[in-house]
Structure 1
């Protein structure tokens, strides 16, 4: 059975929790159905801790009490049961597994990551970022490794709709660009772990000059979130050969694409005009639609 958004978030953040909260998380993940039906006393006993610790766990994840947590677990397990995945994505991939199995594992893992991210994304935060980006004098995107791939793609999309946007793969250049930002500008830092030193430095520099700072990360209590004005979280389950940092790319692209579409919506006329102009500019580099049919007939 796969996990819904809340359980996926618990699994992602489990290694970063204090030991007492880790035991609570492990019991929830081991028996989500029992957690959804049981009492706070039952969960505390299974975790070998106190009811106060369970309450603290609830609040760490944004719930006022155990009743709200139970509802979240029940909703997550219900969605997972309805999904009925054909493949258990947590199963280890062996050297002799065929491609049909690998296809199922990869597709299920990516689908779960995207669904979990969609369920947990803060729409009010997306709206705030989209409004700021659409009106910004300058937008800088920071990310390295696989997160850099997401940053580069977002920069391409924003440039296409006339948003003044830059992505620099070189840390020194990116840092100097961050220093040039001001109160009307936006800095977006992408880091799955939330611990990428360069991204933290760049958002800190941008914040010092008054820019709106945005963090895209899978860990809402990581260092990068401490210096960001807005945090957009992603989900990234691990599977064999696909560490969470690599799996996070699809989730990052989903969140960034949501921001991009929201920006395009807010700048509707400008966006349509930009699409028309850019499509016309590259038209000469595309083969006519019937060229393939003519070659097959000859």
Structure 2
């Protein structure tokens, strides 16, 4: 198993969509990490042709007080990454596994365990749960529905545009609505989630992107790990980071009255001798 360490890269990636073009240039410089020897503000400004003020704004957009604090965290995380790095360029199988390892590391870096506890509480208190998602996100949510239903939760998964609208009109303050959008831009899902929120439902969005300097409209915004062109599924399944978070949520929920839930889960296993 990989040696998990906290890394700044997934944090940078989660803010990319809300950055200016100059800030994205800076972000890509640190994400690729190629030939970075001198991280002083003067050196980076000269190499990227940006101002010190741009470096400061970039660092603050990523949640740091300033560029110096960002560099400290970046160097610390890069040392850990370098020591466990997988430089695998020719073996296709190893490249795929390296991508999965990278997403596992990134998930660990951005996972907020106190948030998982809050989400678990929302799940526990909901009388009905709606799961909104399209494409790969919708497929991953089917796994979530199956696992939570086996623990006695009433779950509905909605993937059709019209049904997203209809379901959001049925939601009320007793419901929890969980939407998944890897890009954070799936209009049908976002619009339906907003409508459910307006009707008093608790709302959670699972996504790789968050808007810097803005309050989230959702009760919880759960960050997913990402990598280049993850949404297109070029080399690995875009469902993977979503499934990782679903596994973590399931594990947290299972810990509530663990014996009772384990017994109920076992009762739902069909043809046990064939497993």
TM-score interval, normalised by the smaller of the two chains:
0.7 to 0.9
The question of 1:138 aligning with 2:128 is answered: yes
Post-superposition offset of 1:13: 5.0
- The answer for the alignment partner of 1:85 in structure 2 is 86
Contact 2:182-2:231 at 8 Å conserved across structures: no
Distance in 1, matches of 2:32 and 2:119, equals 37
- The answer for the alignment partner of 2:207 in structure 1 is 217
Contact 2:16-2:209 at 8 Å conserved across structures: no
Distance in 2, matches of 1:4 and 1:60, equals 19
Q: For residues 56-106 of structure 1, what are the alpha-carbon distances to aligned partners after superposition, in whole Å with 9 as ceiling and x for unaligned?
A: 111111111123211221132122212231414xxxxxxxx7xxx221111
Post-superposition offset of 1:241: 11
Post-superposition offset of 1:6: 1.9
Contact 2:133-2:180 at 8 Å conserved across structures: yes
- The answer for the alignment partner of 2:28 in structure 1 is 26
Distance in 2, matches of 1:278 and 1:250, equals 25
Q: For residues 24-62 of structure 1, what are the alpha-carbon distances to aligned partners after superposition, in whole Å with 9 as ceiling and x for unaligned?
A: 223323547747x63233323322122121111111111
Contact 1:40-1:51 at 8 Å conserved across structures: yes
Q: 1:20 to 1:58 in 2, by over 3 A?
A: same
Which runs of 5 or more structure 1 residues have no equivalent in the other structure?
A: 89-96, 290-298
Out of 267-276 and 63-72, give the one that drifted further. 267-276
Distance in 2, matches of 1:241 and 1:134, equals 30
- SS state at 1:5 partner: coil
Q: TM-score, normalised by structure 1?
A: 0.80
- The answer for the alignment partner of 1:110 in structure 2 is 100
Question: Bigger radius of gyration, 1 or 2?
Answer: 1
Return the structure number with greater helix share.
1
Contact 1:192-1:245 at 8 Å conserved across structures: no
Contact 1:139-1:187 at 8 Å conserved across structures: yes
Out of 180-189 and 241-250, give the one that drifted further. 241-250
Post-superposition offset of 1:237: 1.5
Q: 1:25 to 1:259 in 2, by over 3 A?
A: same
- SS state at 2:238 partner: helix
Contact 1:214-1:232 at 8 Å conserved across structures: yes
- SS state at 1:248 partner: coil
- The answer for the alignment partner of 2:9 in structure 1 is 7
Q: 1:208 to 1:254 in 2, by over 3 A?
A: same
Q: 1:26 to 1:177 in 2, by over 3 A?
A: closer
Contact 2:17-2:211 at 8 Å conserved across structures: no
The question of 1:261 aligning with 2:251 is answered: yes
Distance in 1, matches of 2:187 and 2:239, equals 19
Post-superposition offset of 1:9: 4.2
Contact 1:33-1:74 at 8 Å conserved across structures: no
- The answer for the alignment partner of 1:51 in structure 2 is 52
Root mean square deviation, CA, Å:
2.8
Of structures 1 and 2, the one with the larger relative CO (CA 8 A, separation 6+) is 2
In the comparison of the two structures, how many residue pairs are matched? 269
Distance in 2, matches of 1:272 and 1:131, equals 18
